[in-house]
Every structure is written in structure tokens, then in C-alpha cells.
Amino acid sequence: MKKYIINIGLGIVLLGALSVSCSDNFVEREPVYSIDSENYFNSESDYKNALIGAYDLLQSTYINVLLGEIASDNTLAGGESASDVIGFQQVDEMTHTAVNSNIKDVWNWMFAGVNRASYILEFKDKTDFSGKNQILAEAHFLRAYYHFELVKWFGGIPLNGDKRFKLGDEKKIPRSSVPEVYASIEADLLYAIDNLNPNAPEVGRATKGAAQALLGKVYLYQDKFADASKVLDKVIESGKYSLVADYNTIFENAGENGKESVFEVQYSDAEGAGFTCLQCSEGNVAVGFNGIRNYVGPVFDSGYSFNVPTAKIANAFEVGDKRKDVAILDIVAWAAANNATYGTGYKHTGYFNRKYLPRQGDSNIGDQNLTNPNNYRAIRYADVLLMAAEAYSRGGLGDGKARTYLNEVRRRAFGDLNHDISASGPALTDFIWSERRFEFVGEGIRFFDLVRTGKAAQEIAGFKAGKNEIFPVPIEEIQFANGNWQQNPQY
């Protein structure tokens, strides 16, 4: 953990005491300004600024979405050549090792988020003010969010309670078991649910519904179906969320933070970034990476042609499913209809991830491909419905309710009642899993769905059961731990 312990902070200035020598007299003066991490949190604004820092790392989760989709059977790595972002190519081929800079980014940036949230909680009792419980609840939510990403990607991870990790902890603190990590996530989310407001104080901040939805997902990943159904029903019954009528509007800027959004990662095109610090971008880096190579034409901007959908997924949609043309851009048909031109990259399939393609008209200050303002819809209401349907189906809790939730999503997809599912038992579960694939193409969910349902080995080329369910801990972390942490199996 050495890298992120040293490098990640909130921009707090460290200044030593000022000393001045006058002739033979040594005069010590009080510092004009002195603050460090131990004497911060003296006011409400300090807590709020620290919370902004904890939210800021959400923007780096673009790599989780991009790499998670490439790992699935939905897309190929793409890019310019076989050596273009070699870490992506290795994950695509399931040949990745502990030496992979992109997997390392997931580890570093998610632990940076954990550290920033835990920093607030470490000093939770220092200063009192009205509304502090809301800030603490958001810190608990964010830590749970980052921990959930880490346990999905790496399995058991080190936990440090309400304290920051410090240099040397990697040699003393063990990796907790997966159940222990999930228990910590559940505790954070239960605290968040009890203390968060149903309405966000500002757009993009966590709400009670967001915490409930995330807890439902955490329960589902552990096959705790009864618990999942109960908490997801609360989100559904709250009446705060609903499916938008037109699926196409979800992924345009006008559809951001709408009634279907339970939680969104906020991005902006107003602050540039560079390749030396991709996590510093206020924009959605994945959007530019998804873009059409050398594109000239209407609506879209060009990009790097990574994360290209396969013909397999493009051809798998049912006839009449309106989601296909929203999720997948057929560049040949589009170019012919719109007098557009484009280039072809590595593993070109003829398809692009339309949900998260760069659009014309954005400011994109800095590098156009790194500052796209397209928010990531981290938890959509459709996900809540399908998770609840799965919990009811797999838990034997009621096929009728499972079908109701499933068919609500399908009716939006097809625009009619003619595609309702009437199956029961295991067949119903299979329909729900299939629906998740088509609903969330391009959103970084498919790989983890395949892993948790035990279907990854049969769907993903090169996937090795007992190994590829999780990713390797970066080699640097194993070395820093000096024997305290063992590498994941078969890596």
C-alpha cells in the first residue's frame, strides 16, 4: 500500500514552526499558519471539504467500468494495436498477471477512496455542528462503495476500521476474509441508511435510497436473498424512483440524475487532465476511450476505439428490443446513413458502446478524450427491480413478485405487454439473468454477474475457474507487505 498511503491526501498544507535567528539570540515565534492532518477538522467546512475529497475518487471508477466490461464476454479490448494499453489486452485475453498497471489502478484508487472516507471517520468526534450525522453517513456510504469494488475485484482485503492506513500497516494488518469485508460493508451501509436523508442535499450526493440499493446488491452478491428482497423492496416502495419511458434518454446529458437514477458518479467537462494523472480528471475518461477511432460526422466525437462490443452481444438482442440501438452503435450502418467516416482499430467489430460515446458540443477543457461530462449511472432503478426479481426467484420467496419486477423492465424495453415472461422456478431465474445482460450492456456489470452466478467459465473465453473470479493483488503490494499478504490463487 506504500504508494497510495504516501501520495493520497486532501491537499492539506504542512508547514513547520517558523524560527528566526537574530545575532546571538534565538527567537521562536508562533507559526503564522500551521495545519496538518492531525489538527484538521476544526469546523463544519473542514468536514465538508474532506467529504468532497472522498467523493472525488468516485470519478476514478471509470477504470472499474471500462476494464470490468472488457473482462466480460460483451466487449473486446480494441484500441489501436495489440500493444495499446497492454493491461486492457491482457484482461481481455484472461492472461493478466500481478504485473498489470490498469489492475493496479483499481487497487490504488479504490484504497485511496477508502482512506479519504476513513480519515473523516477517524476524527468523527472532534468537532460538533448541526448536520454532522449526514456527513458521517455519506463517509460510511462512500467507504462501503469503495470496499465493495475492492472485494469484487480482489477478494479479501485489509481492513483498518475507522482509521487511515499508515506506512508500515501493510506489514502488520492482514487481509481480512471475504465474509469479514462484506460484514464491514454491511455495517457501513446500515449506518448510512439510518442517517442519510431520502433527498440529497446536493445533486450527486448519497441518499438513503442509494445506500439501501447498494446494500441490496451486497446481500445479493452473498446469496442473502431474503435480506436483499426486503431492503430492495423498500427502495421500490419509497416511490422516489421509476423507469423513464424512453430508454434512449437515460444516457444523454439531459437524462442525468433523473428519476431512474439511484446513484450517479458526477463528471464535468470544465477541468482538464492528462495521461500522467488520469484519476485527476473531472471528466469521464472511459467515454473518450470508448470513442470511434478517427471519426468525422455528426453527433459523436472521435476517440480511441477501446471496449468494442462483440457481434455475439449485438446479435443476441430479441427482435423489437429498443435497447439494442441505444446500447450498440453499428458504425457501418451509421456512417452510411449520416455521411460519416471512421477508422478501424485493433479487433474492430463494427460496433461501439453507444451509451458512453463522446458527444459533440461538450467543452472538454484540456484533452478532449479525458474530460467528457457523461455521468456514470452507477445504480439505476432498473437494476433495483432486476436485483429484487432475482432475490425473489432464487430465494424461493415468490415467483409472482419476481415476474412483476422483471416484466416492468421488459415492458419498457419492448414498449408492449407481448413480451412478458410467464416462467417459474429456475427458468424464471435464467430469464432474469438474461435480462440483466441486455439492460446493462456497456455499464461494467456483466463480468461480475457471470462470476457471482457461476457462469463465467462457460461464457468468457480463456476464463479459468478457481482463478479468474478475482484479479491479482498488484505485485508491488505483495512486496511491500513482506510476507504478510499472500497472492490470490494461481497468480
What lies within 8 Å, CB to CB, of 7 at 6+ separation is none
pLDDT at 241 over 70: yes
In a domain, 375, yes or no: no
pLDDT tens readout for residues 60-93: 999 999 999 999 999 999 999 999 999 999 999 9
Res 366: pLDDT = 85
**412 lies in the same domain as 293:** no
Residue 126's CATH number: 1.25.40.390
Compute the mean pLDDT over every residue in the chain, rounded to the nearest whole number.
92
In a domain, 31, yes or no: no
**403 lies in the same domain as 337:** no
Q: How many domains does the chain have?
A: 3
**396 lies in the same domain as 343:** no
The model's confidence at residue 36, banded by pLDDT at 50, 70 and 90, is: confident
**305 lies in the same domain as 425:** no
Other CB atoms within a 10 A radius of the CB of residue 279 amount to: 18
Q: Nearest to residue 470, comparing CAs of 177, 211, 244?
A: 177
Share of the chain above pLDDT 70, in %: 93
Res 148: pLDDT = 99
pLDDT (mean) for 133-151: 98
Res 346: pLDDT = 98
Residue 95 belongs to domain spanning: 44-198+470-481
pLDDT at 126 over 70: yes
Q: In the numeric block, which cell numbers belong to residue 274?
A: 492528462
The model's confidence at residue 26, banded by pLDDT at 50, 70 and 90, is: very low
CB-based contact 340:296 (threshold 8 Å): yes
pLDDT at 21 over 80: no
Question: For 435, phi and psi rounded to 5 degrees?
Answer: -65, -35
In a domain, 155, yes or no: yes
**90 lies in the same domain as 136:** yes
pLDDT (mean) for 107-132: 97
**153 lies in the same domain as 64:** yes
**57 lies in the same domain as 189:** yes
In a domain, 22, yes or no: no
Q: Nearest to residue 478, comparing CAs of 98, 115, 101?
A: 98
In a domain, 366, yes or no: no
**69 lies in the same domain as 168:** yes
pLDDT at 30 over 80: no
**83 lies in the same domain as 175:** yes
Amino acid identity for residue 179 in this structure:
P
What lies within 8 Å, CB to CB, of 185 at 6+ separation is 144, 147, 148, 151, 218
Q: What is the reported pTM?
A: 0.93
| Least-confidence region, from 2-16, 403-417, 453-467 | 2-16
Res 19: pLDDT = 30
In a domain, 407, yes or no: yes
In a domain, 404, yes or no: yes
**344 lies in the same domain as 426:** no
